[in-house]
């Protein structure tokens, strides 16, 4: 029996290690190529470990003048998308969470119906409409397009968060004389902070990495994923790896900063408190 438990635990940890390696190795290869000497990579048997560093590719990226405008645009669009998504979806999700179960899930399913169509299929009519509205090639146009994609998911996350908050908290606030708006701002939203943080992180990262709408709606200044695609078409593997590494850095920082909110026990503890 003890041997079976030991074998099961070993298999469990082995599976975790394999999954972690499966996720980390592509990121390492990306980093490795961005600093690689071409002769070490462009061979039939490229070296896996880094033995020589080459900073030329990063210098080319920084000196090209094509980094900062796409980086700035991606950052502005992702941040505005996150802020507007929270402003729109937080009160709406709170109201939906207080509906009857059948109505609540009917609304959520209706929201997800908009996500059944591929982005590449609805990006064209959106771009035509935004052309009429003079929103083409503007940051706010790209933000609105990203909201179409993100709002169903963020509503799904926040409805699940709000419905776990006990009604007793709101009833106690009402007895103390707090109105609905004050209860939402002072009681509900602070308790729902972990869920809001997860939704914000999810929205920011998706908008940061979004490609299809940016391809249709960005004409002059590209977003960073589009800039990387430009180097893919040109066959600039090393510059592409450098750009991709730069694209990954904010993702790592935000994920590390907000990772504590992803823990389920954190949300549970917040509600109990």
Tokens 């920011």, residue located: 204
- Give the chain's mean pLDDT: 84
Cα–Cα distance measured from residue 206 to residue 158, given in angstroms and rounded to the nearest whole number: 16
**C-beta separation of 210 from 150 below 8 A:** no
Cα–Cα distance measured from residue 247 to residue 229, given in angstroms and rounded to the nearest whole number: 12
- For 127-136, what is the mean pLDDT? 89
pLDDT above 60 for 4: yes
Q: For the chain, how big is the Rg over CA atoms in Å?
A: 23
Tokens 């999810």, residue located: 202
pLDDT above 90 for 73: yes
Q: Is the dihedral of CA 214, 127, 219, 216 positive or negative?
A: positive
- The Cβ of residue 4 has, within 10 Å, a number of other Cβ atoms equal to 8
- The Cβ of residue 103 has, within 10 Å, a number of other Cβ atoms equal to 10
pLDDT above 70 for 263: no
pLDDT attached to residue 269: 42
- For 241-246, what is the mean pLDDT? 89
Binned at pLDDT 50, 70 and 90, residue 147 comes out as very high
Query: In the structure, how many helices (H) and strands (E) does the chain have?
Result: 15, 0
* CATH class for the domain made up of 66-267: mainly alpha
Q: Where are the domains of the chain?
A: 1-53, 66-267
Global pTM value:
0.82
Burial of residue 176 (CB within 10 Å: 0-12, 13-18, 19+) is exposed
Tokens 């035509």, residue located: 128
- For 128-132, what is the mean pLDDT? 89
Q: Which two tokens stand for residue 174?
A: 């009402």
Residues 6 or more apart in contact with residue 199 via CB below 8 angstroms = 85, 86, 89, 154, 157, 158, 161
């Amino acid at each position: 029996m003890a041997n079976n438990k030991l074998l099961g635990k070993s298999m469990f940890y082995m599976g975790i290690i394999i999954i972690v390696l499966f996720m980390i190795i592509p990121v390492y290869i990306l980093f490795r190529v961005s600093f690689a000497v071409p002769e070490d990579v462009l061979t039939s048997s490229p070296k896996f470990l880094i033995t020589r560093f080459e900073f030329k590719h990063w210098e080319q990226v920084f000196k090209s003048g094509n980094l900062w405008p796409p980086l700035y645009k991606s950052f502005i669009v992702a941040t505005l998308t996150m802020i507007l998504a929270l402003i729109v979806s937080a009160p709406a999700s709170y109201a939906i969470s207080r509906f009857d179960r059948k109505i609540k899930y009917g609304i959520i399913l209706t929201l997800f119906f908009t996500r059944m169509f591929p982005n590449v299929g609805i990006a064209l009519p959106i771009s035509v409409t935004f052309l009429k509205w003079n929103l083409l090639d503007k940051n706010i146009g790209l933000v609105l397009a990203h909201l179409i994609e993100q709002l169903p998911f963020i509503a799904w996350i926040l409805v699940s968060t709000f419905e776990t908050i006990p009604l007793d908290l709101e009833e106690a606030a009402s007895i103390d004389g707090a109105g609905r708006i004050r209860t939402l701002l002072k009681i509900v939203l602070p308790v729902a902070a972990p869920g809001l943080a997860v939704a914000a992180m999810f929205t920011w990262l998706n908008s940061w990495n979004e490609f299809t709408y940016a391809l249709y709606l960005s004409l002059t200044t590209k977003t960073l994923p589009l800039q990387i695609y430009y180097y893919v078409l040109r066959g600039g593997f090393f510059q592409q790896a450098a750009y991709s590494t730069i694209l990954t850095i904010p993702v790592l920082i935000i994920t590390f900063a907000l990772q504590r909110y992803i823990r389920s026990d954190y949300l549970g503890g917040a509600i109990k408190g």
